[in-house]
């Protein structure tokens, strides 16, 4: 089993701290139904890509991303003391469409199997 790199360990910590912050202190209605699905930190620990899953249409996704971008300063300021890093990484919020792709694949599989079972 390979040990986790420092960037991977910090990524997991950032994800848990942001998730906790969302559930307790964030009151922006644009981001209330968003879920932090992952964080990928650059090897120099300067940029954190925060992947968010938003359920809804493209307008809802766009609004949630805008809400996160507007709140990024507050989020950084709130989580920095909990991370204990010399430099707080810049947070870049990215829509995680893997859940949408998985749902689409599931529907395709169901339609393919239901079509063959009738024959």
Query: What CATH number is attached to the domain comprising 60?
Result: 3.30.300.20
pLDDT surpassing 80 at residue 1: no
Percent of the chain past pLDDT 70, that is, above it, reads: 93
User: Using an 8 Å Cβ cutoff, are 67 and 30 in contact?
Assistant: yes
Residue 1 lies in a domain: no
pLDDT score, position 119: 43
- Kindly indicate the confidence band of residue 14, based on its pLDDT and cuts at 50, 70 and 90: very high
Residue 12 lies in a domain: yes
More confident residue, 11 or 104: 11
Cβ neighbors of 68 (< 8 A, separation 6 or more) are: 31, 34, 50, 52, 75, 93
Number of domains, the chain: 1
CA gap 40, 31 in Å, rounded: 20
**50: which residues sit within 8 A by CB, 6+ positions away?**
14, 15, 18, 36, 38, 39, 68, 91, 92, 93, 94
> Please, which residues bridge with residue 54 across strands?
34
Whether the CA torsion 55, 57, 60, 66 is positive or negative: it is positive
Mean pLDDT value across the chain: 86
Q: Give domain status of residue 66, yes or no.
A: yes
Give yes or no for residue 118 having a pLDDT over 60.
Answer: no
- pLDDT tens-digit map of 80-89: 999 888 889 9
Which domain, by its residues, includes 47? Answer: 6-117
* Closest listed residue to residue 54, CA positions, set 43, 62, 46: 62
């Amino acid at each position: 089993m390979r040990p986790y790199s420092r960037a991977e360990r910090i990524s997991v910590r950032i994800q848990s701290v942001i998730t906790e912050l969302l559930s307790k202190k964030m009151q922006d209605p644009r981001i209330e139904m968003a879920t932090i699905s992952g964080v990928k930190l650059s090897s120099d620990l300067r940029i954190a890509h925060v992947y968010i899953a938003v359920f809804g249409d493209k307008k809802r996704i766009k609004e949630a991303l805008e809400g996160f971008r507007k709140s990024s300063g507050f989020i950084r300021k709130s989580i920095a003391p909990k991370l204990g890093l010399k430099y707080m990484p810049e947070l870049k919020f990215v829509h995680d469409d893997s859940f949408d792709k998985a749902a689409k694949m599931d529907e395709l599989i169901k339609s393919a199997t239901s079509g063959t079972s009738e024959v």
